[in-house]
Structure 1
Amino acid sequence: MPRVRFHPDEVSVEVERGVTLHAAAKAAGVELASICGGDGICGRCRVIVKNGNIEAAPTTLLTREEIQKGYVLACQTKVLGDVEVEVPPETRAEEGQILIDIDAQRFRALYQEEKVSFRHEPLVQKLYLELPPPTLHDNLADHQRLYREIRRHRDYPIMQTGLKILRAQPKLLRQNDWKITATLGLRGGVVEVLQLEGGDTSTRAYGIAVDVGTSTVVAHLVDLNTGRTIDAEAMYNSQRAYGEEVTRRIIYAERGGLEQLQKTIVNDINNLITALVERNKIALHDCLAIVCAGNTTMMHLLLGLDPSSIRRDPYVSCSTAPPPVRAAEVGIHINPRGLLYCVPAIGGWVGGDVTAGILATGLYESDKTVMLIDVGTNGEIVIGRREDGFAWMVTCSASAGPAFEGSGVKCGMKASRGAIERVQISPDGNVLYKTVGNVRPKGICGSGLIDLVAGLLEAGFIDRSGRLIPEASPRIRERDGLLEFVVVPAQRSATEKDIVITQADIENLVRAKAAIYAGTLILIKSLNLDVTDIDRVFLAGGFGNYLDREKAIMIGLIPDLPLEKIRFVGNTSIIGAKMALLSQEAWRKCEEIAQSATYYDLISFPHYYEEFLAAKFLPHTELERFPSVQKRLAKDLSPSPSPEVGGEPLPFREGVGVRSSPKDR
């Protein structure tokens, strides 16, 4: 079989003839960037073939100069013989910053203000019992005796027990002098006796809360008795190899890849759990429950459910509220009889992560009109409040695409080490920037892209339609028939290539922000409200946490509201999942939220496309909607472009505005 060697990793792998370089890299453990799932349309998996026998499909995503240097797209190149491949730095799927949110200060303040509190009663809990031994006068059967004792401590009208537990019960009770610990789990309206242990083991009760994101997976290890978060762990979702967006993964599943996708995410979750329990010296046997929150597609893939109908009209899923199941049945490694709960979804495109976010922020209890925006690929938006004792909520998914995560942008990247995350354009036209990890820049992540577009607009280097103005700056040039702005010249970048933003990149970002703003406006108008009627905006998600609010307003991503009304609330998905894990009342509230929230399909609104087109200007066709931006653009900045195309790091104080990558920890 042909052997493929990857540099600079210096690893080799034998593969079948005809296998793609992308598949060979995966087999060798070399992670390549991939957005399109191997369809050859993103251009991110470019590698350099040093020598060997290959068959590369023609592509327009590589320049003539790159092809002459040996560049190919790994997913479109077949191995015909032994090959040596170099993986350039920009092609690596590097790990980055993941928002873990163990016990964020912002949520402690939020709980106090919004009174988000629930009775502590975990979905699965241990109960130590000392049963009175049977006598001639109290000759109740063992099973009924157990139920009677449980009901003395808990008001559980309906209980059930499996045959395995029933068989073990007589000997266990008598060997332990009728002193046992029962593990009880909520399954719908029934409480199940999951296991019986001799003696008092009630102090050893743990649970796992997981945010199963499209890009990242975050897990918290929780003490079920105290509610304390013991530890947290995170990683990038390994399903990225099959496509960055959920639609790509649905297509992969349709082509026979459902089982592989399911195994991949289960393996990620198991790796996180293993890291948590080993680090804290906890037995897997004592992990009794796991609550997962994620979008509807991710929950389908986790459970191995066919997601294909989610992307087809009328966009109906297999289930928005899967019942609790044995975690072992899915392949998750906790107690063999432990339960897996998936937070119920609102619709096919507004998932349990949003339900968890609504729970965490207390939006359903607020007497103010609150908007929750998860600024990401799916762009979920919620507006709600409580009036006259009734909570109403409307939701939608704006389908912004992956541009805000640095995907689909020429020099875009995730917020990993070397990503430009902050940008300012000075009055003299010079570019100041800040990178993750304070190292030489490799590319630009989402927050940096928003800063950059806002800066270009305010400096007068682009017009309100997003078009670059060549005469405005010597940094604007034409390459391959397309205008681009040089952010960092090659001699100052880690890749030794110019870091640029192209006209096409700007258009992608404008489309993405237009989708989200149009979605917010449709929801607002559907309620006969005005933007000024919004009392508070919560920005959720890992990306939303690093947004500059003023810059987001400047480009028209979020409504022009006073900054004090706009709050970052972090990873509300994991916070909500943890609240549900620790409280049956909170779990029932999740079910209530999912059932009562109204899901709007934006495409069904006759004026959505008009709103989308109007929002494809910076900040909007109707500038008066953004008075603060109108005021800033009215200033005569009179930029004096620097003759030298350079770039300097931003002078941030240490620890201020700085994100660290996992490698820095």
Structure 2
Amino acid sequence: MKEKLCEITFKPLGVKVKVPENTTIIETAVKNNLPLEGMCNGRGTCGKCLVQASGMLSQPQTDEKERLGSMLSDSWRLACQAKVLGNVEVFLTEKQQFRTISGGKNKEYIFDPLIIRILGKSGESFFLPKRAYGIAVDIGTTSIVVGLIDLNSDGKEITTSACLNPQTQYGADVITRITYAHQYAQNVLKLKELVLNGINNLISKVCNEKGVQLQEIYHITVAANNTMLHLLVGVDPFPLAVTPYEPIFVDYQEYNSTELGIAVPNAVVSLLPSLSAFVGADILAGVIAIDFHKIAVPALFIDIGTNGEIVANVNGKLIATSSAAGPALEGMNIYCGCRAEDGAISGVRIEENGQIYIVTIGSAKIKGLCGSGLVELVAELVKAGVILPTGRFAQSTNLPGLLAQRLIEHDGQPAFLLDSNSMTMLTQKDVRQVQLAKAAIAAAIDILFQRLKVELDAVEKVYIAGAFGYHLKKEALKIIGLLPSGLNSEVEFVGNTAKEGARLCMVNQAAADEIITLQNDIESLELSYAPEFMDNYVDHMNFPS
């Protein structure tokens, strides 16, 4: 019997495609590279693939009905749940510009490109031509950032560009993505193709911007977490997710760009080394970028994302771990959460009289709360007494009128209405997600310094890497307890140190050697084997009073 084909029209793009009956809307969008994002690998739990659709679609099931409620009557559907039974029209909301932080703190170095040593291995001298460039790549679970590097003069970054990691269609966190990859062999190749498409598009963009030809690219260095590195080379990362958490590889590797699938003819691709399953090359590159391993006072380095990777340094002894914070601090698994994009609330301030001031990214209408906005909102509500140390909302009778009137009921639970026009709110479940995330990171910090036999009040410097701190007030981290009590040291946001470390390892041979040495010198702590973790985790669940 011939397979029935159904036509889907995506508006306002005007794209028409034919797909087999019972294909979901999101499957069609992904296959055709259309701007539709899902975080939960099709389970219908994140609500981020919301579309308006009309035509012959499957009836919504119980979970979708509960999540969308009255929105169903306005033709809203979850693209991962709605199956096509005939001709369908789908309206995609405008895709806002993805924002991340591309620059990072850097150190001084001697310009001594690694590619000269690599291409001169045969014993013959090698000299770069007058026009020679490199690409530094940071592959994160959420975003991909590339920098175009001048390899002829001083090794400085000429321009940079970033995009959302296309793999987010199959999960917001590494565990969801690993699960998807392990289901079928072709899934690994699909995730590899997606990340390569992202990298190739960014390389093309920065080269076109500066008039650089692809054949003028000689070297590409990649810093990424271990899951992303495995998927980049087409290796199933499943061993990273099960005990004893042993990666297929952690050491420095070199590939030919064409062999790997990067659309640059005959460049050398250097994959920087990782430490363990969940402390990747991005963290080692970050340590190199700010010379963290050479700091003479007790110090802390944190990269906060879906995993909180943490390195402690006491008198040159380094110990590192990764704590599963989950995607909440990046605005995911939050009822009104969103990426750091135009329209995202990135900052919140509450005055003593209850007046609220909101800061958004760009000029678009309010879309939701990104990670920094979420943390600042929770911190301000804790400070104002709207959220109690237990995480529960206070009774409205105990609050100033302007704040009391914002306490509403949502799904039978209290919630705080931040913006009535967009109906952006913070739910009780959202507060719990923040508690779980911050407790995981704070507990890990505690344990690292316990292992080093140093009190937290002896720590003199805290460095926070990544996009998370770009719009964030430092005090908010202490108010919610992500930085545990006793840690009263100076806090510095150092930006995208992963890409900066990748650049340094490209333009300085000593840095490239140093990151390999560092891999052997840092002690790795797997928290699932730490008997004290659960007690510390529970101790940090409440907000400081």
Q: TM-score, normalised by structure 2?
A: 0.93
Residue 265 in structure 1 maps to residue 201 in structure 2:
no
Please name the residue that 1:282 is paired with.
Answer: 212
Please name the residue that 2:227 is paired with.
Answer: 297
Question: Which residue identity lines up with residue 331 of structure 2 in the other structure?
Answer: G
Paired residue for 1:34, among 38, 55, 60? 38
| CA-CA distance at 1:469 after TM superposition | 1.7
Q: Secondary structure at the match of 2:169?
A: helix
Question: Which residue identity lines up with residue 50 of structure 1 in the other structure?
Answer: S
Distance 2:81 2:230 in 1: 29
Contact 2:252 2:516 in 1 (8 A): no
Contact 2:460 2:489 in 1 (8 A): no
Contact 2:217 2:264 in 1 (8 A): yes
Please name the residue that 1:230 is paired with.
Answer: 158
Q: Cα deviations across residues 559-590 of structure 1 (Å, max 9, x unaligned)?
A: 45787711010000001000000112111110
Distance 2:20 2:51 in 1: 20
Please name the residue that 1:475 is paired with.
Answer: 406
Q: Secondary structure at the match of 2:118?
A: strand
1:536-551 pair list within 5 angstroms: 536-551=461-476
Residue 318 in structure 1 maps to residue 322 in structure 2:
no
Please name the residue that 1:401 is paired with.
Answer: 326
Distance 1:242 1:297 in 2: 14
Distance 2:240 2:80 in 1: 27
Please name the residue that 1:433 is paired with.
Answer: 358
Distance 1:98 1:192 in 2: 41
Please name the residue that 1:457 is paired with.
Answer: 382
Please name the residue that 1:307 is paired with.
Answer: 237
1:639-658 pair list within 5 angstroms: none
1:97-496 pair list within 5 angstroms: 97-101=99-103, 106-107=105-106, 111=107, 117-125=108-116, 185=118, 191-192=121-122, 202-225=129-152, 226-256=154-184, 257-336=187-266, 338-385=267-314, 387=315, 391-471=316-396, 472=399, 473-490=404-421, 493=422
| CA-CA distance at 1:217 after TM superposition | 0.9
Distance 1:406 1:531 in 2: 29
Structure 1, 529-538 or 25-34: larger mean CA deviation = 25-34
Question: Which residue identity lines up with residue 254 of structure 1 in the other structure?
Answer: H
| CA-CA distance at 1:400 after TM superposition | 0.3
Residue 79 in structure 1 maps to residue 84 in structure 2:
yes
Q: Secondary structure at the match of 1:233?
A: strand
Distance 2:488 2:159 in 1: 33
| CA-CA distance at 1:193 after TM superposition | 7.3
Distance 1:470 1:2 in 2: 53
CA distance 1:330–1:405, change in 2 (3 Å) = same
Distance 1:503 1:317 in 2: 37
Paired residue for 2:456, among 531, 536, 546? 531
1:595-614 pair list within 5 angstroms: 595-614=520-539
CA distance 1:580–1:201, change in 2 (3 Å) = closer
Question: Which residue identity lines up with residue 51 of structure 1 in the other structure?
Answer: G
Distance 1:485 1:434 in 2: 17
Distance 2:263 2:69 in 1: 50
Please name the residue that 2:514 is paired with.
Answer: 589
Question: Which residue identity lines up with residue 111 of structure 2 in the other structure?
Answer: H
Distance 1:335 1:372 in 2: 37
Question: Which residue identity lines up with residue 81 of structure 1 in the other structure?
Answer: G
The gaps in structure 2 that reach 5 residues or longer are none
Q: Cα deviations across residues 185-238 of structure 1 (Å, max 9, x unaligned)?
A: 26xxx8247998xxx863222211111111111111112232122221211111
Question: Which residue identity lines up with residue 173 of structure 2 in the other structure?
Answer: E
| CA-CA distance at 1:535 after TM superposition | 1.2
The gaps in structure 1 that reach 5 residues or longer are 112-116, 126-183, 624-665
Contact 2:457 2:487 in 1 (8 A): no
Distance 1:346 1:486 in 2: 43
Distance 2:439 2:161 in 1: 34
| CA-CA distance at 1:118 after TM superposition | 4.3
What is the identity percentage for the equivalent residue pairs of Structure 1 and Structure 2? 32
Distance 2:95 2:522 in 1: 37
The total of aligned residue pairs comes to 531
Distance 1:452 1:206 in 2: 43
Question: Which residue identity lines up with residue 411 of structure 2 in the other structure?
Answer: D
Contact 2:55 2:86 in 1 (8 A): no
Q: Cα deviations across residues 358-400 of structure 1 (Å, max 9, x unaligned)?
A: 1011111111111001111110000114x4xxx3210010110
CA distance 1:53–1:574, change in 2 (3 Å) = closer
Structure 1 vs Structure 2 CA RMSD? 2.1
Q: Cα deviations across residues 121-170 of structure 1 (Å, max 9, x unaligned)?
A: 21112xxxxxxxxxxxxxxxxxxxxxxxxxxxxxxxxxxxxxxxxxxxxx
Contact 1:539 1:545 in 2 (8 A): no
Q: Secondary structure at the match of 1:581?
A: helix
Distance 2:71 2:39 in 1: 20
| CA-CA distance at 1:49 after TM superposition | 2.9
| CA-CA distance at 1:24 after TM superposition | 2.0
CA distance 1:49–1:470, change in 2 (3 Å) = farther
Contact 1:518 1:615 in 2 (8 A): yes
Distance 1:195 1:223 in 2: 20
Q: Secondary structure at the match of 2:63?
A: coil
Please name the residue that 1:176 is paired with.
Answer: none
CA distance 1:58–1:202, change in 2 (3 Å) = same
CA distance 1:50–1:195, change in 2 (3 Å) = farther
Distance 2:439 2:142 in 1: 22
Please name the residue that 2:63 is paired with.
Answer: 59
Distance 1:201 1:395 in 2: 38
Structure 1, 37-46 or 509-518: larger mean CA deviation = 37-46
CA distance 1:307–1:244, change in 2 (3 Å) = same
CA distance 1:334–1:33, change in 2 (3 Å) = closer
Q: Secondary structure at the match of 1:265?
A: helix
CA distance 1:79–1:371, change in 2 (3 Å) = same
Distance 1:364 1:320 in 2: 20
| CA-CA distance at 1:280 after TM superposition | 1.9
Contact 1:56 1:78 in 2 (8 A): no
Distance 1:67 1:598 in 2: 53
Distance 1:503 1:533 in 2: 36
Contact 1:13 1:27 in 2 (8 A): no
